[in-house]
Amino acid sequence: MHFDIITCQPDLLSGPFSHSIMKRSQDKGLVSLELHDIRDYGLGKHRQIDDYQYGGGAGMVMMVEPLSNCIEHLQKERDYDEIIFLTPDGETLNQSTVNRLSLQHNIMLICGHYKGIDERIREEYVTMELSIGDYVLSGGELPAAVLVDSISRVIPGVLNDGSSALSDSHQDGLLSAPVYTRPSDYRGWKVPEVLLSGNDRAIETWRRDQSLERTKIRRPDLLNDQ
- Catalogue all structural domains in the chain, each as residue range(s) with its CATH number: 2-152 (3.40.1280.10), 169-224 (1.10.1270.20)
Give the H/E segment covering residue 113: none
In this predicted structure, what is the pLDDT of residue 161? 60
Summarised one tens digit per residue, pLDDT across range 101-130 is: 999 999 999 999 989 999 999 999 999 999
Q: How confident is the model at residue 203 (pLDDT cuts 50, 70, 90)?
A: very high
In this predicted structure, what is the pLDDT of residue 225? 63
pTM of the model: 0.88
Q: How confident is the model at residue 171 (pLDDT cuts 50, 70, 90)?
A: low
Q: How confident is the model at residue 172 (pLDDT cuts 50, 70, 90)?
A: confident
Mean pLDDT of the chain, nearest integer: 93
In this predicted structure, what is the pLDDT of residue 220? 95
Cα–Cα distance measured from residue 223 to residue 44, given in angstroms and rounded to the nearest whole number:
54
Q: Is residue 169 predicted with pLDDT exceeding 60?
A: no
Q: Is residue 22 predicted with pLDDT exceeding 80?
A: yes
Give the residue, 114 or 93, on which the prediction is more confident. Answer: 93
Give the residue, 209 or 166, on which the prediction is more confident. Answer: 209
Cα–Cα distance measured from residue 57 to residue 48, given in angstroms and rounded to the nearest whole number:
19
- SS3 of 43-91: ECCCCECEECCCCCCCCCEECHHHHHHHHHHHHCCCCCCEEEEEEEEEE
Q: Say if residues 7 and 144 touch (Cβ distance below 8 Å).
A: yes
Q: Give how far Cα 11 sits from Cα of 7, 18, 47, 67, Å.
A: 9, 12, 18, 19
Cα–Cα distance measured from residue 62 to residue 9, given in angstroms and rounded to the nearest whole number:
13
Cα–Cα distance measured from residue 192 to residue 47, given in angstroms and rounded to the nearest whole number:
61
Q: Is residue 87 predicted with pLDDT exceeding 60?
A: yes
